[in-house]
Amino acid sequence: MVEESEIVLHGRRFKYRRAGEGPLVVLLHGIAGSSAVWRNIIPRLSEHYTVIAPDLLGHGASAKPKGDYSLGAYANMIRDLLEALEQPPGTIVGHSLGGGVALQFAYQFPERCERLVLVSSGGLGREVHPILRAAALPGAELVLPWLAAGAARGIGSMVRAMGRFGLRESADLAETWRSFVSLEEPEARRAFLYTVRSVIDFGGQLVSATDKLYLAKGLPTLIIWGDGDPLIPVGHAFHSHEIISDSRLEIFPGAGHYPHLDDPERFAKVLLDFIRTTTPRAFDASQLRTRLQTGQPRAKEGAVSAEADA
């Protein structure tokens, strides 16, 4: 049974879903989403594992304060949540923005990350859909209330509008509609803009993990992507797979930005197989020091690394 719970961290309400018993699996959703996006996956995983899926700060039913919505701040909050819930190290799964948070978490707290799963992940390349770049532009705060109100009136108008941006009548469109509906509240819109502008500008994604992916060597890593993803190009999956030695790559034919919704049965099967057939990484501080001292390939021109990005 999936339990919806609440905890107060640093004086702020934090909602999360929890189910099952066993080794820990953490599920992190994307921007303007919530833990509800994992609704078809949690029951399958909870037969074998303890599953925790939070509503990230500024999202879902969690608090939406003014403050820091950077990847580093999100990673800190996930660490604090797991510590407060007395959870051990585990498998960290992140979708879209949640993938960027998962990368950041693995970088900041390697001793807490046994495996890494990136699903249509942010933070792996500059390219991103124009609709997300537009949200980072000045004046977006004036347009969002109109979009949110339009979405709330019905999905019909959203189908026509989003079709012009290349979004299909699928999980991509349905979740985009839900995202805009969630932005009816001024506090939610403010948190959304804080988050977008911390990771995206008019040219694309501001932050890139690619110059630090060499640190993931030895960390069991699974990359899942839909070959029809309209928001973040599938090319990011192939490039990251080349950089992260021994990573696994699963491309879902016909799926978009939400492969876990387009094909939940296959998604759960792939994820369960990955966890069962890989050995959790034991953190080795001396190994980390050696890699840091050895250095890494220079990041590609145009990529910008955040001070604590993945």
- In this structure, are residues 283 and 99 in contact, taking their beta carbons and an 8 Å threshold? no
| C-alpha dihedral, 176 to 181 to 184 to 187, nearest 10° | -60
The answer to whether residue 140 scores a pLDDT higher than 60 is no
What's residue 176's pLDDT?
A: 72
What's residue 255's pLDDT?
A: 94
Task: List C-alpha distances in Å: 77 to 28, 55, 62, 191.
Answer: 12, 11, 12, 15
Over residues 192-212, the mean pLDDT reads 83
The answer to whether residue 145 scores a pLDDT higher than 90 is no
CATH code for the domain defined by 3-127+206-294: 3.40.50.1820
Element (H, E) at 24: strand 24-28
- Residues with catalytic function: 96, 229, 257
**Spatial distance between the Cα atoms of 142 and 123, rounded to a whole number of angstroms:** 27
pTM: 0.86
Spacing of C-alpha 281 from chain mean position: 21
- In this structure, are residues 288 and 110 in contact, taking their beta carbons and an 8 Å threshold? yes
- Helix ranges (H only) for 183-227 are 186-199
The answer to whether residue 141 scores a pLDDT higher than 60 is no
CA angle 289, 106, 301 (to 5 degrees): 80
Per-domain residue ranges of the chain:
3-127+206-294, 130-201
Residues of the chain with pLDDT > 70, as a percent, come to 81
